Structure 1
Amino acid sequence: MSFELVTAYLSLGSNLGNRQDNLDKALDLLSQRLRVGMISSLYDTEPVGNINQPRFLNLVCQVHTSLGPEKLLALAKEIELKLGRASGKSGAPRPIDIDILFYGSRVIETPELVIPHPRLTERAFVLIPLAEIAPDLVHPISGKTIRELLQRVAGTSGVLKQGTPGWKRNEKERECIRY
């Protein structure tokens, strides 16, 4: 039985509790089900939309998975709940938020899932870390690279580089990443 590994990109953010610890725990939980590839630096960012809440710590990671897009979404939601995110409270402060930015070059539009992420091109807090790890990745709808999209976005001054995640790959993960 063969399976295809798809490269996907996820955005992770946290603005409640120990933000870096929350991101590290989410990466650890993701690594138990997916092969985690490149991980961006951490970025301290202003909240968007509901601005009366704490600042976020964000990163973007590349993952390789045999899960379909719907199962990847289910895994993201499962991890969010496990780390204490209240369900159904969009825009509220949260210990972890995981969004699927890209799933290969697929374009998906269902009531539950839209890929590429519909607000990706408007969000400096996503484009800056994504450009760090995949500047030449092409948006399948616009045909623009992430680098090109970043040049057109506003709000980059509110995205402050804060170092690297504390998460360490386990031995199995280190073996998987050498391909």
Structure 2
Amino acid sequence: MNLLARLFSALTLVALICAIWVALLPQRPTTPDRLPSDQTTLTGPVDRILIEKSARKMTAFRDGAALKTYRIALGFAPEGDKSQQGDGKTPEGIFRIDRRNDASAYHLSLGIDYPQAEDRARAAAEDIDPGGDIFIHGQPNQLPRGILLPGDWTAGCIAISNAEIGELFAATAIGTEVEIRP
């Protein structure tokens, strides 16, 4: 197993242990950095998703109207645009959902078409790997039901709860626009 895979596995294990420990603590009031998503239920198709990294929120739209807003987790180094494999950044720009995976290592996932041609060209000019496999997904499958990993913990993806990805997955088709802002 390569070093990056071992590091990611170790970080996932540490995050899992922390999540279980946090779940066993007495319930505390919601803090500003862990605000719940809005309580509406997403129904019907989504035609656009807006992700605002600095606000840690994702909003689903249909015909220009906001349908639901979610609290999100990002890559472990979320500041700035993704430039290469392993940098822990979530890419910025306008993308499309290009695949749906109901058998992923995370509870459901919607693939984003990163890297795009300009990302691959830039990476080739710099002789680096631009990375890839960026998804909107739920929590790791090995986590107990209802547990949310705290903070920004992905390798560059956008994570929400399992219940939330379930409703978003059902409402989002391949080709849906995804805009990711700083």
Same fold, TM exceeding 0.5?
no
Which structure has the bigger radius of gyration?
Answer: 2
Q: TM-score, normalised by structure 1?
A: 0.24
Q: TM-score, normalised by structure 2?
A: 0.24
